């Protein structure tokens, strides 16, 4: 597959992932706003912080990064799938079940158990969330197969339908049986994972019976080929190189999860925030991460595949095919510019409109207290998150195994320092301290990735890091917009009625349009790339 074809498939994958993330985040956004009217913020905190993120996310540590070895070009897809099935039965499934039991015991015996009057059926919720994570493990080989072959529609359809089923079940149970407490959310989570597995199985059963699968060189003939099984240990499958590469990616992903969601572990195990404050933090976090999740995350996931397929891992720019490395540099520069402008827009306008957004979304419960400060800090964090996503996307695709091994030690240092700083800043600044610690941690990761990219292209004339520079007129436009909208918030928001709120929004809209107009005239290279590279690829693929 040529680099242009890979870019076309990657653009298609990114767009589908964005649509999926938009659907997921919009439904979650509406669902949270709805459930806040029926359940307490304490239940929201327990479900979204204590159970969902620190329990089920632990099982996903290796899934995404295992695809790296299947897309890097070093191994055949059939070999990866065989090894993955072996790995599942010998490691992942038993570890998942054991981990579920261990965490269930920890949650029920060692950690603070919420008041049954406020959060009923906590024990059942812990058990069902653990079971849902184990169920999801069974779909991993199908997920790997779909990702490696860029079957983007099945991911969109399966996850969209599963999310819709989960939301419908949650809404029905919340309205009819609000007294069920965690029964509602744990049952919906188990339904989500079960329906997801069912969708993948039905899709591949139908696909493998089609002429398309029989006509091509598809790596499997039956769905049963992907069932967990023991395989003979032989030199072509379980080599030290294969095992070490898988271990490195698993370790890197685990440390990455610890960096991203470390504050949730601190909330759960150290009790620095009560369940109500955890609920407010999670709601603000979900609101602040809307753009990060449905734009930045799909870009990171999809363009990792592009860089991994176009570049040879472990070789610098001089050792690559110059046509491919030039395209990779152009894509990296444009992606950095794109996420930088989106992140700056969110950081600048988010400061003046955080309180209004929270007041509209959740009323005074969110717009008073720490909510606005949390969201303002999170807007700055989104900017750093955007840049880090793209720089690490390239870095992980281009690193050699030895560099990845060294990077894992760096990530370990980042993780430990992040956890310590999070605890200290939270003790000092409350829940805002978590966001400040995240900003510091993300800045260190960006610096590390930028150093790698600079060293990677140091012997070539390509300068993709120039995508992190903006023109002086655009910087002035952002600065002026920040001052004007901040003054508008002081004068018109948020206690003066809807007319003053409308004026505040109108002023912000005018400033935003001015910024976009300046972008069109100053960032011509980015506009040219989108018009000449991305848009024709979408049209060519019938999107």
Convert the pLDDT of each residue in 117-176 to its tens digit. 778 888 888 888 888 888 887 777 777 677 666 676 777 788 878 888 888 888 888 888
Q: Is 495 left (phi over 0), alpha (psi -120 to 50) or beta?
A: alpha
Confidence bin at 509 (pLDDT 50/70/90):
very high
Q: Which residue has the higher pLDDT, 486 or 396?
A: 486
Q: Residue 337's pLDDT is what?
A: 93
Q: Which two tokens stand for residue 512?
A: 């935003």
133 occurs within a structural domain: yes
pTM for this entry: 0.68
Judged against a pLDDT cut of 80, whether residue 345 lies above it is answered with yes
Q: Which residue has the higher pLDDT, 518 or 406?
A: 518
291 occurs within a structural domain: no
Percent of all residues in the chain with a pLDDT value above 70, rounded to a whole number: 70
Judged against a pLDDT cut of 70, whether residue 1 lies above it is answered with no
Judged against a pLDDT cut of 80, whether residue 11 lies above it is answered with no
Classify residue 114 by its DSSP letter. P
- Closest to 366 (Cα-Cα) out of 26, 51, 36: 36
Cα 77 to Cα 71: distance, rounded to the nearest angstrom: 8
Q: Residue 290, class by beta-carbon neighbours within 10 Å (0-12 exposed, 13-18 middle, 19+ buried)?
A: middle
71 occurs within a structural domain: yes
Provide the 3-class DSSP secondary structure of residue 239: coil
Classify residue 224 by its DSSP letter. G
Judged against a pLDDT cut of 60, whether residue 538 lies above it is answered with no
- Range with the poorest average pLDDT among 201-215, 411-425, 508-522: 201-215
Instruction: Look up tokens 């744990």; give the residue.
Output: 186
172 occurs within a structural domain: yes
- Per-residue pLDDT of 249-297, as tens digits, reads 555 556 655 555 566 667 766 666 777 677 777 777 777 777 676 677 7
What are the phi and psi torsion angles at 120 (to 5°)? -75, 155
Q: Residue 4's pLDDT is what?
A: 57
Q: Which residue has the higher pLDDT, 483 or 527?
A: 483
Work out how many domains the chain is built from and give that number: 1
- Range with the poorest average pLDDT among 76-80, 182-186, 246-250, 343-347: 76-80
- Range with the poorest average pLDDT among 267-276, 365-374, 430-439, 503-512: 267-276
466 occurs within a structural domain: no
508 occurs within a structural domain: no
Q: Residue 347's pLDDT is what?
A: 92
Contact between 390 and 339 (Cβ < 8 Å): yes
- Closest to 107 (Cα-Cα) out of 266, 313, 229, 268: 268
What is the average pLDDT value for the chain, to the nearest integer?
76
184 occurs within a structural domain: yes
Q: Residue 75's pLDDT is what?
A: 46
Q: Which two tokens stand for residue 158?
A: 């399966």
Cα 293 to Cα 392: distance, rounded to the nearest angstrom: 16
Confidence bin at 74 (pLDDT 50/70/90):
very low
Helix (H) or strand (E) holding 92: none
CA dihedral sign of residues 184, 185, 190, 191: positive
179 occurs within a structural domain: yes
Confidence bin at 233 (pLDDT 50/70/90):
very low
Backbone Cα Rg of the chain: 24
Parent domain of 46: 39-244
Q: Which among 43-52, 397-406, 508-517 has the top mean pLDDT? A: 508-517
Q: Which among 8-17, 37-46, 123-132, 270-279 has the top mean pLDDT? A: 123-132
- Per-residue pLDDT of 373-384, as tens digits, reads 888 998 999 999
């Amino acid at each position: 597959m040529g680099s242009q074809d890979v870019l076309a498939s990657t653009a298609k994958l990114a767009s589908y992932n964005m649509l999926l993330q938009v659907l997921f985040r919009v439904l979650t956004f509406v669902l949270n706003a709805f459930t806040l009217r029926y359940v307490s913020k304490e239940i929201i905190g327990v479900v979204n912080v204590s159970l969902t993120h620190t329990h089920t996310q632990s099982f996903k540590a290796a899934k995404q990064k295992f695809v790296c070895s299947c897309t890097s070009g070093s191994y055949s897809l059939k070999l990866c799938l065989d090894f993955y099935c072996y790995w599942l039965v010998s490691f992942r499934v038993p570890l998942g079940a054991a981990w579920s039991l261990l965490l269930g015991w920890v949650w029920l015996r060692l950690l603070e158990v919420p008041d049954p009057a406020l959060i009923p059926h906590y024990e059942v919720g812990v058990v069902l969330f653990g079971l849902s994570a184990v169920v999801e493990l069974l779909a991993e080989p199908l997920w790997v197969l779909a990702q490696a072959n860029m079957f983007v529609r099945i991911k969109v359809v399966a996850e969209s339908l599963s999310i819709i089923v989960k939301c419908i079940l949650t809404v029905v149970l919340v309205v009819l049986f609000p007294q069920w407490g965690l029964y509602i959310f744990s049952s919906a989570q188990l339904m989500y994972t079960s329906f997801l597995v069912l969708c993948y199985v039905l899709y591949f059963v139908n696909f493998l019976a089609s002429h398309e699968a029989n006509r091509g060189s598809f790596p499997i003939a039956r769905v049963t080929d992907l069932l967990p099984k023991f395989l003979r240990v032989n030199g072509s499958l379980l080599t030290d190189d294969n095992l070490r590469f898988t271990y490195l990616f698993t370790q890197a992903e685990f440390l990455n999860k610890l960096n991203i969601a470390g504050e949730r572990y601190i909330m759960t195990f150290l009790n620095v925030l009560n369940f109500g404050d955890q609920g407010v933090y999670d709601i603000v976090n979900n609101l602040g991460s809307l753009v990060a999740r449905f734009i930045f995350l799909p870009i990171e996931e999809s363009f990792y595949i592009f860089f991994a397929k176009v570049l040879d891992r472990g070789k610098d720019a001089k050792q690559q095919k110059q046509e491919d490395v030039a395209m990779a540099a152009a894509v990296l520069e444009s992606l950095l510019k794109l996420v930088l402008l989106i992140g700056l827009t969110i950081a600048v306008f988010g400061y003046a409109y955080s309180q209004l957004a929270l007041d509209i979304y959740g009323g005074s419960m969110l717009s008073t207290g720490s909510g606005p400060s949390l969201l303002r800090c999170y807007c700055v964090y989104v900017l750093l998150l955007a840049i880090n996503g793209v720089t690490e996307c390239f870095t992980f695709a281009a690193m050699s195994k030895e560099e990845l091994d060294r990077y894992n030690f760096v990530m370990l240092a980042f993780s430990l320092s992040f956890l310590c700083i999070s605890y200290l800043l939270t003790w000092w600044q409350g829940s805002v301290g978590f966001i400040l610690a995240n900003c510091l941690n993300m800045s260190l990761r960006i610096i590390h990735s930028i150093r790698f990219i600079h060293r990677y292209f140091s012997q070539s004339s390509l300068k993709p890091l120039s995508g992190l520079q903006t023109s002086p007129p655009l910087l002035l436009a952002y600065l002026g917009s920040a001052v004007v909208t901040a003054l508008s918030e002081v004068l018109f928001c948020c206690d003066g009625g809807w007319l003053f709120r409308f004026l505040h929004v109108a002023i912000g809209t005018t400033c935003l349009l001015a910024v976009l107009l300046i972008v069109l005239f100053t960032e011509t290279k980015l506009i040219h790339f989108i018009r000449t590279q991305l848009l024709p690829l979408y049209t060519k693929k019938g999107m």
